[in-house]
Amino acid sequence: MRKLIIPVLLVLLFSCQNESSSPQQAAEAVPEPIGPKSFTLNSDKMTPEVLWSFGRIGEISLSPDKSTLAFGITYYDIEQNKGNAELYTMSTSGDRFSRITNTNGGEYNPRWRPDGKKIGFLSAESGSMQLWEMNPDGTGRKQISNIESGINGFEYAPDQTKILFIADVNAENTVKKMYPDLPKTSGRIMNDLMYRHWDHWVDSYSHVFVADYQNESLANLNDIMLDEPWESPLSPFGGMEQITWRPDSKAVVYTCRKKSGKEYSLSTNSDLYQYDVDSKTTVNLTEGMMGYDQSPVFSPDGNYLAWESMERDGYEADKLRLFVMDLKSNTKKDYSLNFDQDARGLAWSSDSQTLYFISDWHALDQVYSLDLATGNILKKTEGVHDYTSVIPAGNKLIGTKMSMSGPIEIFSIDPATGEQAQISFVNKPLLDQLTFGRVEERWITTTDNKQMLTWVIFPPHFDSTKTYPALLYCQGGPQSTVSQFWSYRWNFQMMAANDYIIVAPNRRGLQGFGKDWNEQISGDYGGQNMKDYLSAIDAVSKEPYVDSNRLGAVGASYGGFSVYWLAGNHNKRFKAFIAHDGMFNLESQYLETEELWFVNWDLGGPFWDKTNKTAMWSYANSPHKFVQNWDTPLLVVHSELDYRIVASQGMQAYNAAILKGLPAEYLYFPDENHWVLKPQNGILWQRTFFNWLDKWLK
C-alpha cells in the first residue's frame, strides 16, 4: 500500500460565525469545507477516485500592479457528491501562495478592484449568489449586493464608480403569469421554438445591469437591456468574457443575439452592442457581420476594440477571426485574413500595440501575438501542450496550460524568448506519485493520401514484448480538435491505466489543420472522416504489441454517432463499442435538437427536402440505416437533461441492439446533461465504461 498525498494548501481561516456562537458550536453546525485530502492507493495507476481528487484551477484575475494573481481552485468530495471552489492568491513569480477563503458556499469570479485594495467575488453564502468583497489576505469579508434573483457575473468600471453584472430575468409569457390562479400548475404552453436549450427550459434569460458603486454597496440599478427580450451573454457557455467596460467607464460593450423563437434557433448571428451609460442609448458596432461576434476587448488606451468573429450565419464552427476596430476612424480590419487558424482568448499588452491570443495548430494550443503596426502574427510558445488562456503581466505573460499528462497549472512566459516556467503546483504532489503512459505523435496516411496526426497513448509500464487491446477514440464536435486536452471523463491516461492502447486520430472535420480539413465533414457524415478513423486503427493495429482481435471503439456526441455508424460498417474489426450521447437516427435528430442552425449546416437541411442532395446523402448515412449489419456488443450512455442530443437517441440504439439479440447495456443519468458533472455519477460512468471493455476485450 502506498500513501498518496494530495497537498493540504496553506489556509487563511476566515470566520463567518455569529459572534454569540462558540468555535465548537460553529464546527458542529458547519461541515468542513471541501478541499484537498490525503488517501491511500494500491498502485501508481490512475483510478476514477484519483481523477476526481485533482484540484481544478479556475478563472485568473491579475492585480492592478501586475504582481499578484487571484484565482479559484475547485475540489470535489465523492461522499458528499459535490464540489466546492475556494479562492487563492499567488505572486506572478510563484513564490507566494495563499488560500484566502474557507467556506461551504463556494467562491467564484474573482476580480481585483481597480484600486487594488479589495478582491470582489461571487458567493452563495447568504443563499443566492451575490457580490462580496474582501481584503487581498481574505479578511474584511463583506456582502456588497442583495439582488433578489442573485447574480451570475460582474465587472468593476475602470474608474470604480460603477459595477456591471449579469442576472436572470424571468420570461414574460409563462403559464403562471398567464393564469395566476393556477400557481401550482406544472404545465408549459409553447407557441415558438427554442423553448428549451442545452439542459434547461427557457423560463428566463440573462440580462446585463449597471449599478452605481457607492460606499462599497450597489445603488441605482439600471437594466441596460430594459424591455428587450434578448439574452446576454449567450447561452449556454457565454460568461463575463462577452461583456466589457470601455476604459473611460462611460460605456459597456456586450455580446447579444437579438433574436427569439424560431429565428433564434436558426441563426448564430450575434453582434456587439455599445451602451452609453449617461445617455442610455445603444449602438450596434458589428451590424452587417453575419456570424458570431463575441468576446470584445478594449485596448488600454481606448483607441481599439478587438473581438472574435465568425463570418457565416448558421455555422457554429466557422473560423474565429481576429477583428480590430479603430475607434477613431470607425474602421474594422480582419487581422487573421492570411492566418488559417482560429484566434481566441484575446488580451492586449499594456501599450496597446500587441494582442496576445490562443490558437490551435496540429492539435497543440499555443500562445500567439499580433503586432498591430505591422499585422505580423508570431507563435510565442512551443511544446506538446494546450494553453487555455493568456494574460499580459508587465514584462511577462501569465498562461494556464494542460496536456494529456496533467491538468491545468499556471505558467509564466517570456514573450521575447518563449521560455516557460511553471509557477503553480496545485497537483504536483499527486502527479509525482502517479505513473502515466507515453504519448506519441504519429502521422498516418489516409485513403486519399493525406497525412493525419494521430495520438497514440500507451499504458504505464508499457512492455513492447506483450500484446494489448486497443481503443479507437472518436472525437465529438464534430469540429473540435483532439489536442493535448486533459478531461475528467474522456481521460486518455485513465484509459491507458487500464492497460489499453489509445488511438486518437485528428480525422477530417477537426480544427487546427486549416479551413479545408475542418470544413470537409459538413454534409459528409459517414464519409471521409469514417475512412480516416479506420485508417488510424488499421495502421496502429499492425504493431506487434497490439492485439488486432481485441479492438474497441468509443466516443461521445459526434463520437457517439461515429460509434453507431462504425457498428454497421466496421467489417468485424471491433469487438466492443461504447457510445455516449450519440446521434443514432438523424431524421429524428433534426426535429429533436434545439439549435437548428447546427443540423441545417452540418446535415444540409431537413430530411423532407428530397431535392437537397447534401441532406439526402446525410440521412442515407444515418447509423439507424445500418442496424441490420450490427454484430458487436454495445454499451449506450445517455442523459435526460441533454437537449442537444436527446435521450431517446440512445434508447433507440439500445433497443435496436437488444432486438437484434446482441449483448447490450444502457447507462442512463436522469440528472446530467451532455456531460457527466457529479462525482458519483462520474465514477459510475468510469466503472461501467471499463467493466464493459474488460468483459469483451480482456
Query: Is the model's pLDDT at 366 over the cut of 80?
Result: yes
Residue type, 53: S
Which entry of 557, 562, 622, 639 is annotated as an active-site residue? 557
pLDDT at 105: 83
Cell readout for 659 is 432486438
Q: Is residue 1 part of a domain?
A: yes
**Residue 202 in domain:** no
Final residue in a domain of this structure, among 404, 431, 458:
431
- Strands of 130-202 (E only): list them: 130-134, 142-143, 153-156, 162-170, 196-197, 200-201
For residues 612 and 524, membership in a common domain is answered with: yes
Question: Where residue 12 falls among pLDDT bands split at 50, 70, 90?
Answer: very low
**Rounded (to 5) percent helix, strand, coil in the chain:** 20, 35, 50
CB-based contacts of 416, cutoff 8 Å, min separation 6? none
Count the neighbouring beta carbons within 10 Å of the beta carbon of residue 145.
Answer: 22
The CA–CA distances, whole Å, from 590 to 200, 479, 606 equal 19, 18, 7
Spatial distance between the Cα atoms of 474 and 530, rounded to a whole number of angstroms:
10
Question: Do 427 and 439 have their domain in common?
Answer: no
Q: What is the rounded distance in angstroms from the CA atom of residue 350 to the CA atom of residue 668?
A: 50
Q: What is the CATH number of the domain that holds 527?
A: 3.40.50.1820
Domain assignment present for residue 461? The answer is: yes
Query: Closest by alpha carbon to 582, among 564, 602, 570, 600?
Result: 564
Question: Does 200 qualify as catalytic in the annotation?
Answer: no
How high is the pLDDT of residue 548?
A: 98
* Residue 13 predicted with pLDDT over 50: no
- pLDDT value for 135: 98
In a domain, 677, yes or no: yes
SS (H, E, C) 302-365: CCEEEEEECCCCCCCCCCCEEEEEECCCCEEEECCCCCCCCCEEEEECCCCCEEEEEEEECCEE
The amino acid sitting at 59 is E
pLDDT of residue 40: 64
Residues 477 and 616 in one domain: yes
Same domain? 473 vs 420? no
Q: Are residues 616 and 635 in the same domain?
A: yes
Average pLDDT estimate for 561-580: 98
CA 89, CA 93: separation in Å to the nearest integer? 12
Question: What is the model's pLDDT at position 31?
Answer: 56
Task: Report d(CA 86, CA 34) in Å as an integer.
Answer: 9
Report the CATH number that the domain containing residue 348 is assigned in CATH.
2.120.10.30
Rounded to an integer, the average pLDDT of 542-553 is 98
Structural domain range at position 135: 1-144
| CA distances from residue 695 to 633, 661, 668, 686, 689 in whole angstroms, order as listed | 10, 17, 20, 14, 10
Q: What's the structural domain count of the chain?
A: 3
> Has residue 252 been placed in a domain?
no
Left if phi > 0, otherwise alpha if psi is -120 to 50, otherwise beta: which for 188?
beta
Select from 240, 310, 298 the least CA-distant residue to 274. 298
Residue 163 in any domain: the answer is no
* Mean pLDDT to the nearest integer, 489-495: 97
Query: What's the mean pLDDT when you consider all of the chain?
Result: 93
pTM of the model: 0.94
The pLDDT tens digits of the residues spanning 255-307 come to 999 999 999 999 999 999 999 999 999 999 999 999 999 999 999 999 999 99
Residues 495 and 605 in one domain: yes
Quickly tell me which residue has 521575447 as its cell.
416
Tell whether 521 and 441 lie within a shared domain. Answer: yes
Q: Which run of H or E residues covers position 378? A: strand 377-379
Give the per-residue pLDDT at 42: 76
Nearest 10 degrees: CA dihedral of 492, 494, 497, 501? -30
Q: Could you tell me if 613 and 486 lie in one domain? A: yes
Place of cell 497514440: 456
**Rounded Cα gap, residues 383 and 538, in angstroms:** 28
pLDDT tens column, 341-357: 999 999 999 999 999 99
Residue 74 within any structural domain of the chain: yes
Q: What is the dihedral of CA 137, 143, 149, 154, to 10 degrees?
A: -50
Residue with cell 488486432: 548
- 3-state SS of 447-493? CCCCEEEEEEECCCCCCCCCCEEEEEEECCCCCCCCCCCCCCCCCHH
What integer pLDDT is reported at residue 22 of this predicted model? 31
- CA angle at 463 for the pair 460 and 467, rounded to the nearest 5°: 105
Active site residue 642: yes
The pLDDT value given to residue 231: 96
> What does the longest C-alpha to C-alpha distance in the chain come to?
77
Label residue 215 exposed, middle or buried (CB < 10 Å: 0-12, 13-18, 19+): exposed
What residue has cell string 479562492?
87
Task: Pick the last residue of a domain from 431, 459, 489.
Answer: 431
User: Which tens digit of pLDDT belongs to each residue from 405-454?
Assistant: 999 999 999 999 999 999 999 999 889 999 999 999 999 999 999 999 99
For residues 578 and 442, membership in a common domain is answered with yes
Is residue 330 a part of any domain in this protein? no
DSSP 534: H
Rounded Cα distance between 646 and 262, Å, is 19
pLDDT at 5 over 70: no
**Are 33 and 120 a contacting pair, CB within 8 Å?**
no
Place of cell 449599478: 211
Bridge-based pairing state of the strands 468-474 and 546-556: parallel
Q: What kind and span of H or E run contains 218? A: strand 217-223
Same domain, 413 and 471: no
Please write the tens of the pLDDT for every residue from 441-488.
Answer: 999 999 999 999 999 999 999 999 999 999 999 999 999 999 999 999
Report the amino acid identity of residue 193.
L
Q: What is the pLDDT of residue 376?
A: 98
Whether residue 64 is found in the same domain as residue 39: yes
The three-state secondary structure class of 195 is coil
For cell 454497421, the residue is 568
| 37 has a pLDDT exceeding 80 | no
Angle of the 558-567 helix axis to the 528-540 helix axis, nearest 10: 80
- 2: pLDDT strictly greater than 70: no
Domain end, chosen from 386, 410, 431, is at 431
Of the two residues 410 and 127, the one the predictor is more confident about is 410
> What pLDDT is attached to residue 25?
32
Contact 264, 274 (CB under 8 A): no
- What pLDDT score does 569 carry? 98
* Co-location of 593 and 568 in the same domain: yes
Question: Which of 509, 502, 515, 511 minimizes the C-alpha distance to 529?
Answer: 509
- CB distance 486 to 406 below 8 Å: yes
557 is catalytic: yes
**pLDDT for 39:** 61
